Amino acid sequence: MATPTSLPPLPNSRTETDGSAVVRVLSYNVRSLRDDTGALARVIAACTPDLVLLQEAPRFFRWRKKLARLAAASGLVILSGGGTAAGPALLCSLRATVERTGDLLLPLVPGRHRRGLATAVVRIGGARLGVIGCHLSLDPRERHAQAGLVLDALAGLDVKHAVVGGDLNEAPGGPVFERFGEELRDCRTVAPWGGEHTFTPADPRRRVDAVFATAGVEVLGCGVPSGLPGVAAADLRAATDHLPVLAALRVPAA
């Protein structure tokens, strides 16, 4: 895995002088916490995120307790999702003031996994930001339809600035990336930083995980945080079967 340059400085619980806020967003497929949760928590904490968009968070037996333990070990709190969103979950730092949250279950195709969205609107510093975490289908046609539902949910948040992230189960250039591109910008394409490929940790060759932002949000850097101080290569391999995507965004004041 390539060693990235440093992310731009992240303000420590304050806004910029113009009222905007630099926000770190981490998207991470955690495979139902079936791997090394200590390594996972260390990776998340080292990235010092304000918002974490999890995929495959625990959904069944004692899922709330498991998610709460991960949040606490990472220095974060639960924002939304988990079992009630069929897997996607949102965590946040104490920089975030929660305006509202919502979980949305997507239509169930018989014989396939239930999918859902975890959503929220938060204020960080002087900025107001919509957030959607998703994990799209393995089936191309279903996945494309779900991308449209993500954009519908985004419109329903009724916010000027938003971030969408997750495991798309598709590489750049595919129909979902194109559909999202009609309304969102792929943060990695705008400001490449760190590593590119997210699957698998042992031999990453595909970028199937991504963070997107609406126009008006300045992308300062986005990529896999391999080589970031505190993020050990051994922990990245042990934590889960995907690599995380970290984005630094400057969100204008509301």
In the structure, how many helices (H) and strands (E) does the chain have?
A: 6, 12
Ordered by where they begin, the domains of the chain are: 24-251 (3.60.10.10)
* Other Cβ atoms closer than 10 A to 127: 23
Q: What is the 3-class SS of 115-130, one letter each residue? A: CEEEEEEEEECCEEEE
Q: How far apart are CA 246 and CA 249, in angstroms?
A: 10
Query: φ and ψ at 121, to 5 degrees?
Result: -125, 125
Q: What is the mean pLDDT of residues 229-253?
A: 96
Report whether pLDDT(6) > 70.
no
Residue 4, pLDDT above cutoff 60: no
Residue 163's pLDDT band (boundaries 50, 70, 90)? very high
- Confidence label for 66 from pLDDT (cuts 50, 70 and 90): very high
Q: What is the mean pLDDT of residues 79-90?
A: 97
Please tell me the distance from the alpha carbon of residue 15 to that of residue 12, in angstroms, as a whole number.
8
Q: What is the pLDDT of residues 104-121, one digit of tens each?
A: 999 998 888 899 999 999
**Assigned token pair, 145:** 């339809």
pLDDT of residue 111: 85
Average pLDDT over residues 73-78: 98
Mean pLDDT confidence for 34-39: 98
- Range with the lowest mean pLDDT among 124-133, 148-157, 210-219, 220-229? 220-229
Q: Does the reported pTM lie above 0.85?
A: yes
The distance in angstroms from the start CA to the end CA of the chain is: 38
1-19 core/surface letters (b: 16 or more CB in 10 A; e: else): beebeebeebeeeebbeee
- Confidence label for 31 from pLDDT (cuts 50, 70 and 90): very high
| Mean pLDDT to the nearest integer, 76-104 | 97
**Closest among 191, 189, 207 to 243, alpha carbons compared:** 207
Q: How confident is the model at residue 9 (pLDDT cuts 50, 70, 90)?
A: very low
Question: Where does the pLDDT of residue 5 fall: very low under 50, low under 70, confident under 90, or very high at 90 and above?
Answer: very low
User: Is 202 a residue whose pLDDT tops 60?
Assistant: yes
What's the mean pLDDT when you consider all of the chain?
A: 93
Q: What pLDDT is recorded for position 229? A: 87
Predicted confidence (pLDDT) per residue in 10-27, tens digit? 333 345 778 899 999 999
pLDDT for the residue numbered 30:
98
Could you give the CA distance from residue 75 to residue 91 in angstroms, rounded to a whole number? 10
pLDDT at res. 15: 54
